[in-house]
């Protein structure tokens, strides 16, 4: 298998702010001190996303600043029992699923203790007052405001290592799925609401991703970089993760750690969890790509998409690798009304499998076989869950041959999974974790625990009309020619009418002109080594993409062009493009 030039560390080079980013604590302290007036009192606020290493700030940054008064905002936070009482309805007893939180950050703090901290700050008449920690801006807005940030994926790594539990509780050794649930349904929602207005006015943003390797960027430079990102194609930083069913294709194709047992997932374009690399001269800043969503939703998504989804990126591209691996879990996703009523999400996880590669004999499990009696299949699944027998997938589920460039459509309510021997580009909506496993082939997770099965939820949402004939007619390779020109042709490949995402495939050996038509586009180069994305009017610098790379074209870009490039000149390439239907 030939290794590709897949870029694991894509960057956006921000123009015009090369001298507004700093590396290392000494330079960071100098930049912060330069922002302070020469005399009088200055309140420096360092607000933090949960998961930031406060001990590192206390050890490396605070002593260098020599404040007159230091205030840790977390001393005003409610204790663990009060937080549990506040959040019990959202946490639920389920291992995986909670209810989406609408809390605001002040609810997590004692109003009396916040008032006391404000009085402490007010009493200082001269010198530097330093307030730090999650929620620091609740104590004082700051004469100088720093926001310390990091991406959700990095937070998850710190959780897995046992370094951190959830914010406000000592639960480092709790089941990782329960910790992730609390972060997903509550903490990240609350802190995204809190940090959005802070990022809009922050004097600086502190990149705390790499331990003891801090980077700082001015707020003006960061905001300019995010604004620039909405006017050009770009990629977020992919991350890779092993799994019990994981395969070997990505490891070989993308030059990943050869000592790893496997790689199951690649989140190639999941902006709520990925990072974004912004380069300012010699300094590379890593921030959550979610910050782009929070600060620039309209030019990124377009007016219609923003009106429908708010500051949420609704399209997800990720990879599922079972080459030399195992079947995915047999699963189903909730119907829209179910996810709204049970979990507080306003749209569901419709999806599709685009087959990047497949071994001979590979299959996709999709829909029930004609004649299946619902209760009979559910009884068989329950018996399998109790360990009495394996689930009789041959009897109940369609197994459809999967070949390279096939496209399988999976509207919510359709039972499905990818079989072993496939490399899937999953194109889906983005509610993330709302997968109801029905059967997991009797496996344990990488943590040695049984993987959670949610038959009680799945039984409520399976659409039993999606049998063999219906699936073959509506969900398998719904390829429709749309247009063609000199050296290119366009095909519609889906998705189903119940899904809000439209997908098109372009085969091309010559330049193809595209247009965002006011909505964000997400594309992947599914055939060919290299392509060049440019603007017919020179509105942005040409952008090179490689095989299997997912890239985003913001709504504000408008017209753009994709051409074969480098070694791919003279060959036929293909992209798959997704957008939200109008």
pLDDT the model gives residue 389: 92
Nearest to 179, CA basis, from 159, 201, 161: 159
Global pTM reads: 0.96
Contacts of 201 (CB under 8 A, 6+ apart): 145, 219
SS3 state at 553: strand
Instruction: For the chain, state the CA radius of gyration.
Output: 25
Domain at 265-272+298-474, CATH homologous superfamily: Jelly Rolls (2.60.120.10)
Break the chain into its structural domains and give their ranges.
Answer: 13-229, 265-272+298-474, 480-580
Parallel, antiparallel, or unpaired for β 69-72 and 127-133? Answer: parallel
Instruction: Judge whether 337 and 439 are in contact, CB under 8 Å.
Output: no
Could you list the mean pLDDT of each consecutive 10-residue stretch along the chain, which spans 582 residues?
83 97 98 91 98 97 96 97 94 92 97 98 97 98 97 94 93 92 95 98 97 97 98 98 96 95 95 95 97 98 97 96 97 93 88 97 98 97 91 97 98 97 95 86 76 90 97 96 97 91 98 98 98 97 98 98 97 98 90
pLDDT the model gives residue 433: 78
pLDDT the model gives residue 358: 98
> Residue for token digits 């609390």?
182
Q: Answer whether 265-272+298-474 and 480-580 agree in fold.
A: yes
**127: its two tokens:** 């010198």
Instruction: Judge whether 34 and 151 are in contact, CB under 8 Å.
Output: no
Fold of 480-580: Jelly Rolls (2.60.120)
CA distance 245 to 182: 26
pLDDT the model gives residue 449: 67
Going by CATH, does the domain composed of 13-229 fall within 3.20.20.70?
no
Contacts of 576 (CB under 8 A, 6+ apart): 354, 425, 427, 493, 503, 504, 505, 523, 524, 526
Residues 112-148 as b/e (b if ≥16 CB within 10 A, e otherwise) read eebeebbeebeebeeebbbbbbbbbbbbbebbbbbbb
pLDDT the model gives residue 181: 93
pLDDT the model gives residue 456: 94
Instruction: Judge whether 160 and 66 are in contact, CB under 8 Å.
Output: no
**What is the DSSP annotation of 50-98?**
TT--HHHIIIIIHHHH--SEEEEGGGGBPPHHHHHHHHHHHH-S-SS--
CA distances to 20, 164, 500 from 34, rounded to whole Å, are 12, 33, 50
pLDDT the model gives residue 3: 67
> Residue for token digits 């609408």?
102
């Amino acid at each position: 298998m030939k290794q590709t030039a897949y870029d694991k560390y894509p960057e956006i080079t921000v123009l015009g702010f090369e001298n507004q980013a700093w590396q290392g604590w000494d330079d960071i302290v100098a930049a912060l001190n330069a922002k302070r007036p020469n005399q009088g009192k200055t309140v420096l606020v360092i607000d933090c996303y949960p998961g930031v290493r406060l001990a590192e700030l206390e050890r490396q940054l605070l002593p260098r600043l020599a404040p007159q008064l230091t205030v840790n905002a977390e001393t005003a936070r409610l204790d663990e029992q009060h937080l549990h009482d506040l959040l019990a309805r959202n946490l639920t007893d389920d291992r995986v699923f909670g209810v989406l939180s609408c809390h605001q950050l002040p609810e997590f703090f004692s109003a009396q203790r916040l008032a006391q901290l404000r009085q402490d700050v007010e009493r200082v008449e001269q010198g530097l007052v330093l307030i730090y920690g999650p929620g620091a801006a609740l104590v004082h807005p700051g004469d100088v405001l720093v926001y310390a940030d990091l991406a959700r994926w990095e937070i998850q790594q710190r959780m897995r290592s046992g370094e951190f539990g959830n914010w406000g509780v000592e639960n480092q050794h709790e089941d990782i799925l329960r910790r992730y649930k609390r972060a997903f349904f509550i903490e990240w929602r609350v802190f995204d609401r809190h940090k959005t207005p802070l990022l809009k006015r922050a004097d600086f943003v502190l990149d705390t991703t790499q331990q003891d390797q801090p980077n700082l960027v001015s707020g003006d430079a960061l905001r300019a970089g995010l604004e620039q990102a909405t006017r050009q194609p770009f990629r977020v930083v992919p991350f890779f993760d092993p799994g019990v069913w994981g395969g070997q294709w990505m490891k070989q194709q993308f030059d990943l750690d050869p000592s790893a047992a496997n790689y199951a997932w690649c989140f190639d374009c999941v902006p709520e969890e990925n990072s974004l690399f912004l380069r300012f001269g010699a300094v590379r800043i890593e921030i959550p790509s979610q910050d782009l969503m929070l600060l620039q939703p309209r030019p990124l998504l377009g007016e219609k998409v923003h009106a429908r989804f708010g500051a949420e990126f609704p399209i997800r591209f990720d990879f599922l690798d079972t080459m030399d691996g195992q079947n995915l879990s047999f699963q189903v996703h909730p119907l829209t009304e179910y996810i709204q009523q049970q979990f507080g999400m306003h749209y569901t996880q419709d999806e599709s499998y685009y087959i990047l590669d497949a071994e001979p004999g590979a299959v996709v499990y999709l829909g029930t076989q004609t004649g299946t009696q619902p209760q009979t299949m559910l009884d068989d699944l329950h018996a399998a869950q109790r360990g009495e027998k394996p689930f009789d997938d041959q009897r109940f589920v369609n197994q459809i041959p999967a070949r390279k460039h096939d496209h399988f459509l999976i509207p919510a309510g359709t039972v499905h999974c990818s079989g072993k021997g496939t490399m899937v580009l999953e194109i889906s909506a983005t509610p993330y974790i709302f997968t109801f496993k029905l059967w997991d082939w009797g496996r344990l997770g990488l943590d040695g625990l049984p993987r959670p099965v949610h038959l009680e939820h799945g039984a409520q949402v399976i659409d039993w009309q999606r049998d063999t004939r219906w699936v073959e007619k509506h969900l398998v390779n719904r390829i429709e020619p749309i247009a063609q020109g000199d050296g290119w042709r366009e095909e519609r490949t889906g998705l189903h009418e119940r899904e809000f995402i439209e997908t098109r495939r372009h085969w091309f050996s010559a330049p193809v002109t595209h247009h965002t038509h006011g909505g964000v586009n997400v594309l992947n180069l599914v055939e060919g080594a290299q392509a060049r994305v440019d603007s017919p009017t020179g509105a942005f610098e040409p952008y090179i993409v490689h095989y299997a790379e997912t890239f985003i074209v913001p709504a504000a870009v408008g017209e753009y062009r994709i051409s074969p490039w480098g070694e791919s000149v003279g060959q036929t390439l293909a992209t798959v493009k997704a957008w939200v239907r109008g």
